[in-house]
Amino acid sequence: MNPTRLRRIRSFVKREGRMTAAQNHALEELLPRYGVTDLTHNIDLEQLFGRDAPRFLEIGFGMGSSLLEIAENNPQHDYLGIEVHRPGVGRLLIDLDNKQLANLRLINHDAVEVLQQAIPENSLDGVYLFFPDPWHKKKHHKRRIVQPEFVQMVRHCLKPGGIFHLATDWQHYAEHMMSILSTTEGLTNKAGKEYYSPREQRPETKYERRGQRLGHEVWDLIFIKN
C-alpha cells in the first residue's frame, strides 16, 4: 500500500470556530498528561494505560461526550480517542480531568496518520467510527474517510476477532460503507451478508440527535476481523 495515497485528499476540513480560554489551557496543560503526543513510532499501549486490558479506539470523537460515557461505564476497558479539531479535544480534556478517568487517553491528530504510524498491528479489540462527515455531494465522495485503503489500515490494527463498528445517518454513505467493508478481505459482517446491525452498546451522539430531528434514519455496521 502506498502510504501517501490517502494523504492527497483529506477527509476533513478544519472549521474550529472559537476556542475558549479553558479549552486552550486544557490543550497546553492537560494534553501532555492525558494525551499521546509522540506519534513517530508505535504506541506502547500497555505502558500508556498501565495494564493489559481490552482496548478500543474511537476515530473522530467530536466534543467527546459519548466517548467519555463509554469509558466511564466500562472501567474494565481502555479507550483511545482521536480527533483533529482542537476545541473538541480541549472540551474532552476538561471533562476527563474532572472525572479523573485512568482508562481514556486522547490524540489530537489526523486519524489516518495515527493508524499508519502509531497503532501497533493486532493491538485493538475494537475501532469505532460514528457519524463521520458524509460529504454528501457527489463531487466530494472522494473525501469520505471510509475507502478501501483506510479499512485495510483499521483491519491491520485490530486483533483477530476485533470489531469495526460504524454508524451513519446518511443512507448513501451507509450503502457506500457496506459495499467497501463487504468486499474487504479478512472482515465478516456480524449481522450477515448485506445486513445492518441493530444499535448496541453505543451512546447516542450529538450528531445522531441532530439527524433524528431532521428525520434521518441511522444505520450501524459491525464487521469482525477473521
Catalytic residues: 133
CB atoms within 10 A of CB 191: 13
CB atoms within 10 A of CB 156: 18
Taking alpha carbons only, the member of 9, 12, 4, 117 closest to residue 60 is 12
Instruction: Find out whether 156 and 187 touch, Cβ atoms under 8 Å.
Output: no
Joined together, the cell numbers standing for residue 197 give 446491525
Give me the residues paired with residue 105 across strands: 80
Joined together, the cell numbers standing for residue 56 give 478500543
Burial (0-12, 13-18, 19+ Cβ within 10 Å), 13: exposed
CA distance linking residue 117 with residue 113, whole number of Å: 6
166 alpha-carbon distance from chain centroid = 9
